[in-house]
Amino acid sequence: MSKAIVYSGPACSWCERVKVLLQENDYEIEEKSIVNKGNVEEFQNKFNQTMRTVPQVVIDGELIGGFAEVEQKMRGTSSINKI
């Protein structure tokens, strides 16, 4: 089973949606709230970039991005967004 880290914010509907998408694809999820500033600093230090939006998803150590990027990775050309 692959592992995903979801950096999420309070009352974030896209964060909830991405967690459901990951669960449907058999990912073990670790959620890290950006309310904890230490999680934001960890993200910025690890990936050398500013976190501008949530969710931010890391799969097996690789930064994937937000919901649209995760959906594209999971569903490829069958993505409803046709990204």
CATH (domain of 13): 3.40.30.10
Domain assignment of residue 60, given as a range: 3-78
Residue 83's pLDDT is what? 42
Asked if residue 20 is part of any domain, the answer here is yes
Asked if residue 18 is part of any domain, the answer here is yes
Instruction: Indicate the number of domains in the chain.
Output: 1
Confidence of residue 79 (pLDDT cuts 50, 70, 90): low
Asked if residue 63 is part of any domain, the answer here is yes
Tokens matching residue 30:
């670790």
**Rounded to an integer, what distance in angstroms lies between the CA atom of residue 79 and that of residue 31?**
24
Closest CA to 33 of 9, 54, 64: 9
Asked if residue 19 is part of any domain, the answer here is yes
Asked if residue 28 is part of any domain, the answer here is yes
* 76 pLDDT higher than 50: yes
Confidence of residue 55 (pLDDT cuts 50, 70, 90): very high
| Higher per-residue pLDDT: 79 or 58 | 58
Helices (H), the chain: 13-24, 37-47, 67-75
Confidence of residue 68 (pLDDT cuts 50, 70, 90): very high
What's the pLDDT tens digit per position in 4-50? Answer: 999 999 999 999 999 999 999 999 999 999 999 999 999 999 999 99
Asked if residue 30 is part of any domain, the answer here is yes
Asked if residue 83 is part of any domain, the answer here is no
* AA identity, residue 75: R
